[in-house]
Structure 1
Amino acid sequence: MSPRNFLVTATPPTTNGDLHVGHLSGPYLGADVFARAQRMLGHTVLYASGGDDHQTYVVTTAQRLGEEPTELAARCTEEIRETLGLAGVDIDAFTSPDEAYRTEVREFFAGLYRQGKLKRRLWSFPFCADTDRFLVEAFATGYCPECLIETCGAICESCGHPNDVNSLLYPTASGAAADAETEPRAVEILVLPLEDYRERFVDFYRARAATMRPHVLRFVEEMLSRPLPDFPVTYPAAWGVPVGIAGFEGQVFNVWAEMLPALGIMTETARARRLPDRTADVWAADSGFELVQFLGYDNTFYFAFAHLGLVWAHGGLVEPTAIITNEFYHLEGSKFSTSRRHLIWARDLVGKYGADNVRFYLTLANPEHQTADFREPEFVSVVRTRLHEPLAAIRSALAPRIGQSTSSSPSIDAILVRYRDRMSRAYSLETFSLRLAADTSANLLALLAARAADDPSLAVTGLKAFAEQTAPVMPDLARQLADLLGAADTVPDLTDLTITAL
């Protein structure tokens, strides 16, 4: 297989709090395992993300906590960086907006405006005098007109369909008095007319069907069943990157539009750190890099339509090769919720049980195609049964044979060839699956544990294959095993093998 070049992005997390377990189980772990696996296979990878400081949720959370939004965002950015590190997420760049960033974002959209790619539209926004702001994004709540669930403005977290506050059912102003009234105000904004790119969307997703998850393709089909909306690139608000174009004073860029050039800035930072000798723009269409984007399903509209439309409007940027979504990860039957304190912080779980235990379980029970549910007793039971106990059984069975010679055989080789082939499918772009990687390796461990006493050669050779192939999932454990097993064909002493006790 020829070496490939991958740009890997994980949706920038909103910097209004640290990462909880639901966050970690999604784009950040998925992208990390994918990036590690591609490097293991000899490919070049840049993995980038960064703090999404300009979400209106930063403002609403700061108000609830009695903090300044800028201080909250800065603090949470550092917390998120630390949590990613504790969880063993080896990210090349996790950036934070600065003045150079804001200048680059403005220049990106100014260029599109000069080329006539962005259109002026008169847009009606409800204005709330009680909060002194227009109802955009998190400043508005209501019910989704598509699936009827309660949601905030801009996007429905449940079905992923976009909305504006005028299409929300029974919209109200977040943080306002119960009897606060709103009045419609017409504001001229800039939009990207997505319907203009309909045929390109149809052709693109037909060609990319093999590398898009089924839920993404179903969502695309739903969106294309009706006229595509104009995507607001700017809106009237004070929090965000000021537009800086005459006639649009008092407006900032829609944070989800901002995210496209932001991801380019983040990947360039990653390039400067990991590939300093490679000076070409890795975000350019002719860079030779394949863009693989990890995100929660609820963000699909922005990546599958808004960002792709902006890429085509620009004309010189890399298109996504794959959009890899995950579904919601619930906690004991209901959604993780910071406001209701219904959550487990990722750093607390990792601190209690260790990164490898957490990574193993979150890959094994990953919500990659369907909603999953986290329950701590089940987590402990599954990790103990499928990881700790097999390792302990192998160590016990091999202890009397330490130092004895081992050798492979055609039957052992055949077993491990099939194992490696299955792991290759789990790690390959077109069939990437965290669940398959963890489950296949756990099954191998169970087989080795059952046969170790009778066939130490299978146990030793199999452990070497296990250490090699599970390094993207459990890097610390894999490193320990590789060191203890060494290159010699003898039964190793596994006494010093350590993994956080449950």
Structure 2
Amino acid sequence: MSERAKRRAVVVAATPTPNGDLHIGHMAGPYLAGDVYSRYLAADGRDVIYTTVTDDSQTYVTTTAHRLGVPPGELCATATEQIGRTISAMGLSMRGLPPVDERYRAAVREFFTRLHAADRLRPRTVRLPYAEESGRYLYDGLMTGACPECLAASSGGVCEGCGHPNNAGELLAPRSVLEPGSPVTTREATILVLPMEEYRERLTAYFAERLPRWRPHAAQLVRELLARPLPEIPVTVPGEWGVEAPFPETPGQILYPWVEAMPAVMYATWWSAAQEGAAPAEADALWRAETGTELVYFHGFDNVYHWGLLDLVLLMAHGDRYVLPEANISNEFYDLEGEKFSTSRDHLIRSADLLAEVPRDLVRFYLALTAPEYQRTNFQTAALTEVTARRLTGPWQRLAEALDTLVPAGAATPLPTTAEGRARAAGVVARFRLGYELEAFSLGRSAELVAVTVERLATAAGPARAGADPHAAGDLLLQVRALLACAAPLLVDTAAKAAAAGVELALNAPQPEKITPFTLPRLPGAERAGTHRTEVAA
């Protein structure tokens, strides 16, 4: 067993804001990708925890609750339940969503109390946007304006378009979201910050080693940010919704919502381990440097600054206490019928709604095939039906029927395989590994390889059925088994049927000289997908 194979892996999907359910744009991004990578590691014999936790403190909870006319806590509870059901419906290999309770908040406060005790935090008197009518300081989703970097419309905190941060009063022409007509001025406030510039040397060394694994757009943003003075990370803000800041210098303030992510997912890792009866005593134990944990993040481009730099510095500020992420896999935006997903305009398809109409394996395959990995891509309802039928279910059913003819029902006598057949099956696995490993991880290429391999094997099944070669059936079955094992991270229900029938799906299993006959589970069709309507509010 290699040293890497002995390491536990912790895979983290960006923490979802509980201001609504997950739509398919979310799912085609970090959530499906993190699940596929986690399932690949598990199939390779790795100990892996795939986790996330709702980001309850985000300002987008309060703005959405205000728009809907409900208390923020009620919105959090409702949305968290919806998100949990969607995670289960999509077949994500998470243990569930951890409760955001007092134990969670204690873990968050302890993370920052430790930094405070080590004198890592600095008091700063800054001028913050201030809504005069309500007397509310504005930050993140509480304000809109123009990005000082690219001049596009932006919320506070970070620009969704170019990815650059805009702290404190940097947003141009700020307006209040909750009181659009309120005059916005600036007022002084003393907050605690973590100076990112103090970690430049360590950041430079880190990215020199790991940035080659990043996707080009995200890597470009990191280089842009490193080429200029690095911002100071707000650790506290004068706000009303969030975790109370436990510092005497900032009475009445809360922890800045974006800094919660690191202790939050540490807690989520601990909670996930607890569901398996294997939780250590301390919430951050599985992230300690001595564990050698392989840590991987999956998130969208608009979170590159937060997950790629801000959260990294939060780990570094604890000295050598924690492991650092091996890679950040980021995605671009996923459009719906040519337009950006919009919850406020109801221009979306919720994952749960799509899964109620279309079999899960087909949804996972199509979202993977069209995933926005390197550029924006587009979901089209009609294309889901046409593409899955033509590229997946059609050739899959042809292959299954050919195998039924080639190997009589109920046959149990192991079939011989050849050295060439074993080499071909091993080659299938090796090819899939290229798209599953971190160096070039790609949902799209993996889904494409599933389609190409199914078509090739369906075509090869004809000559094998008609020929007199006694090894043809065994060699074909060996490759089909390799296909099932390699497609399993995507086609979870089909893989489960095959495994229940006794088909070996471990990716590190040897290619045998004899193989026991099996039938290929059928894929369901997606006939109802074409009837799905997307409603766009006027």
Give the TM-score range, shorter chain: over 0.9
Kept in 2: contact 1:240–1:255 (CA 8 A): yes
Give the superposition deviation at 1:22.
0.4
Cα pair 1:477 1:499 within 8 Å, conserved? no
Equivalent residue number for residue 426 of structure 2: 417
User: Among residues 133, 139, 144, which one is paired with 1:141 in the alignment?
Assistant: 144
> Match of 1:292, SS?
strand
Report the alpha carbon displacement of residue 233 of structure 1 after superposing the two structures with TM. 0.9
The alignment's TM-score, normalised by the length of structure 2, stands at: 0.89
Secondary structure, aligned partner of 2:326? strand
Is the 2:270–2:279 contact (alpha carbons within 8 Å) kept by the matching residues of 1? Answer: no
Name the SS of the counterpart of 1:166 in structure 2.
helix
Q: Residues 98 and 265 (structure 1 numbering): CA distance in 2 closer, same or farther, change over 3 Å?
A: same
Counterpart selection for 2:380 from 375, 397, 402: 375
Q: Give, in whole Å, the separation in 1 of the partners of 2:74 and 2:162.
A: 32
Pick from 271, 283, 286 the counterpart of residue 290 of structure 2.
286
In the alignment, the residues of structure 1 paired with residue 310 and residue 356 of structure 2 have an alpha-carbon distance, to the nearest angstrom, of: 38
Matches within 5 A, 1:227-242: 227-242=229-244
The Cα of 1:310 is off from its aligned counterpart by 1.3
Looking at structure 2, the residues matched to 103 and 31 of structure 1 have their Cα atoms a distance apart, in angstroms, of: 27
Structure 2 residue 472 is matched with structure 1 residue 472: no
Provide the TM-score with structure 1 as the length reference. 0.95
Query: Is 1:68 aligned to 2:93, yes or no?
Result: no
Which one is further off, 31-40 or 277-286? 277-286
Matched residue type, 1:499: P
- Root mean square deviation of aligned Cα: 2.0
Asked if the contact 1:93–1:269 (Cα under 8 Å) also holds between the matched residues in 2, the reply is no
Are the equivalent residues in 2 in contact too, given 1:467–1:482 (CA < 8 A)?
no
Provide Cα deviations, 1:306-349, integer angstroms capped at 9, x if missing partner: 11111111121221111111111111122111001110000111
Question: Per the alignment, in what secondary structure is the counterpart of residue 378 of structure 2?
Answer: strand
Q: 1:393 aligned to 388, 395, 398, which one?
A: 398
Q: Is residue 11–residue 49 contact of structure 2 (8 Å, CA) maintained in 1?
A: yes
**How big is each residue's C-alpha offset from its partner over 1:3-57, in whole Å with a ceiling of 9 and x where there is no partner?**
2321111111000000000011111111111111101101111111111111010
What is the 5 A alignment of 1:325-344?
325-344=330-349
CA deviations 1:339-360 (Å, max 9, x no partner) are: 0111000011111102111111
Matches of 1:141 and 1:96 in 2, distance apart?
A: 31
Quote the residue 1:298 is aligned against.
302
Aligned to 2:266: 264
2: CA distance, partners of 1:104 / 1:483:
40
In the TM superposition, 1:309-348 aligns within 5 A as 309-315=313-319, 316-348=321-353
The secondary structure found in structure 2 opposite 1:58 is helix
Question: Structure 1 residue aligned with 2:199, among 197, 200, 214?
Answer: 197
Contact 1:7 1:45 in 2 (8 A): yes
Q: CA deviation at 1:485?
A: 7.6
CA contact (8 A) 1:20 1:344 kept: yes
CA distance in 1, matches of 2:291, 2:368: 31
**Structure-2 change in CA distance of 1:267 and 1:79 (3 Å):** same
Flag the 1:353–1:51 CA change in 2: closer, same or farther, 3 A.
Answer: same
Q: Is the 8 A contact 1:257 1:307 kept in 2?
A: yes
Instruction: Return the alpha-carbon distance in structure 2 between the equivalents of residues 336 and 237 of structure 1.
Output: 29
Q: Distance in 1 between matches of 2:426 and 2:155?
A: 50
Which one of 417, 436, 440 corresponds to residue 431 of structure 1?
Answer: 440
Matches of residues 94-133 of structure 1 in structure 2 within 5 Å?
Answer: 94-133=97-136
SS at match of 1:171: strand
Is 1:53 matched up with 2:70?
no
Counterpart residue identity of residue 94, structure 2: I
* Preserved CA contact (<8 Å) 1:192 1:230: yes
1:395 and 1:196 mapped to 2: Cα distance? Answer: 60
How many Å separate the matches in 1 of 2:312 and 2:502?
47
Match of residue 357, structure 1, among 353, 362, 367: 362
User: Residue deviations 1:363-421, cap 9 Å, x none?
Assistant: 11111222111111111111111111001212333343442775433443333222111
Cα 1:407–1:15, aligned 2, differ >3 Å: closer, same or farther?
A: same
Q: Which amino acid aligns with 1:98?
A: D
The count of corresponding residues between Structure 1 and Structure 2 is 500
1:454 corresponds in structure 2 to 463
Q: Is the 8 A contact 2:11 2:296 kept in 1?
A: yes
Deviation at 1:189, TM superposition (A): 0.3
| Partner Cα separation in structure 2 for residue 223 and residue 177 of structure 1 | 32
1:497 counterpart (518, 522, 535): 522
Rounded to whole Å, the distance in 2 between the matches of 1:429 and 1:23 is: 21
Q: 1-side partners of 2:362 and 2:134: how far apart? A: 46
Map 1:139-288 to 2 at 5 A. 139-178=142-181, 180-274=182-276, 276=278, 281-288=285-292
2:311 maps to: 307
Question: What is the CA-CA distance between 1:278 and the residue it aligns to?
Answer: 5.9
Tell me, which stretches of 5 or more residues in structure 2 are unaligned? 466-472, 505-513, 528-538
* Compared CA separation, residues 46 and 279, structure 1 to 2 (3 A): farther
Could you tell me which amino acid in structure 2 is paired with residue 160 of structure 1?
A: G
Q: Deviations over 1:216-256 (max 9, x none)?
A: 32111100111001111111110001112223122111111
Secondary structure at the residue paired with 1:247?
Answer: coil
Give the whole-Å Cα distance in 1 for the aligned partners of 2:189 and 2:199.
25
For 2:403 and 2:516, locate their aligned partners in 1 and report how far apart those are by CA, in whole Å: 10
Indicate if the aligned counterparts of 1:398 and 1:491 stay in contact, CA closer than 8 A: no
CA contact (8 A) 2:385 2:526 kept: no
SS at match of 1:447: helix
SS at match of 1:381: helix
Q: How many percent of aligned residue pairs carry the same amino acid?
A: 38
1:78 deviates by 0.9
Aligned-partner Cα distance in 2 for 1:29–1:245? 39
2:97 alignment partner, SS class: strand
